[in-house]
Amino acid sequence: MIVVTGGAGFIGSNLVKALNARGHDEVLVVDDLSDGTKFVNLADCTLGDYLDKEEFLARVKAALNGEASHLPPIEAIFHEGACSDTTEWNGRFMLENNFEYSKVLLNFCQRQGIPFIYASSAAIYGGSEVFFEAPEHEKPLNVYGYSKLLFDQYVRARHDDFISQVVGLRYFNVYGPREQHKGKMASVAYHHHTQISAGQNVKLFGAWEGYEAGMQSRDFVYVGDVVDVNLWFLDHPEASGIFNLGTGSAEPFKAIGETVVDYYGRGRIEYIDFPEELKGRYQSYTRADISRLREAGYDGEFRSVAQGVREYLEWLNGKG
């Protein structure tokens, strides 16, 4: 059985769907469905089983203590479960969810010889202008980014002792199907879709930090491409390490707005003042250096913003 933590969430549910497409119906989804609206992300998926996060964690800890755990044989764990809210400042909560939880699962996988592929984040780079997997470029601007960096450091310190695959994937700006439950943390593409659908204009930040209005740029990566990379590592258990997962290109937010306006044939881009609460805590530019990912052997192509956003809008409108 393959485990997907955070399996009812954005990237997790897309992984479950892709595993089903490969013929993997015995997928154990682990999540916290206190927000029951997330069930829609799994409604068209086939699960082998579902466990609440706390129950799963208790069983894993029991196994680590040599007690009866009642866990099935596990082929691999995709660890997508985390608090990904970059505006959350409760550090105790963030570290419990993103650091302690991950440590327990990593140690379990090493004890059992199970491949462990986990979600890291480009938020680790924060205030850096270089996006390469090296400590000197890691400067998080929020406690979310710090929680991800802390676990990456934990992995690095033990890398030479690992007996099974461990892969950390530093996701850049992921967008695509099954993210509607994320609210304010959903992608700009999703927010533009909802704005146009409500008869509004698409809204982007005005000029800030030397960038013209709408020209703040990031590495936007389609969730389908993110899933492909995850599954590639599942197929290549000999490959381990921490890797950036983006397209390798930076495109302006304006390109997303223009694609959405063009798709719907109505509305326009409207610029708003840059929010005070984000000043000094915002990445105005990101571009993944994916040389390590390529060196590991991954040679898949990545969608451009125009391609990915249009495909996403087709899905949102029931055509994809």
Give me the CATH number covering residue 141.
3.40.50.720
The number of distinct structural domains making up the chain is 1
Residue 283's pLDDT is what?
83
Residue 15's pLDDT is what?
98
Residue 176's pLDDT is what?
98
Instruction: For residue range 6-39, list pLDDT tens digits in order.
Output: 999 999 999 999 999 999 999 999 999 999 999 9
Domain span including residue 14? 2-172+221-247+287-302
Residue list, annotated binding site for substrate: 173, 184, 191, 205-208, 218, 282
Question: Catalytic residues, which ones?
Answer: 144, 182
Instruction: For residue range 130-178, list pLDDT tens digits in order.
Output: 999 999 999 999 999 999 999 999 999 999 999 999 999 999 999 999 9
Instruction: For residue range 93-142, list pLDDT tens digits in order.
Output: 989 989 999 999 999 999 999 999 999 999 999 989 999 999 999 999 99
Question: Is 146 a member of any domain?
Answer: yes
* Cα distance between residue 183 and residue 26, in whole Å: 30
Question: Is 291 a member of any domain?
Answer: yes
Question: Is 320 a member of any domain?
Answer: no
- Using 50, 70 and 90 to split pLDDT, how confident is the model at 320? low
Question: Is 69 a member of any domain?
Answer: yes
- Degrees (nearest 5) of the Cα angle 170, 94, 273? 75
Higher-scoring residue by pLDDT: 319, 20: 20
Q: Render 208-261 in DSSP notation, one character per residue.
A: BTTBPTT--EE-EEEHHHHHHHHHHHHH-TT--EEEEES-S--EEHHHHHHHHH
Residue 83's pLDDT is what?
79
The sign of the dihedral angle between the CA atoms of 77, 83, 89, 90 is negative
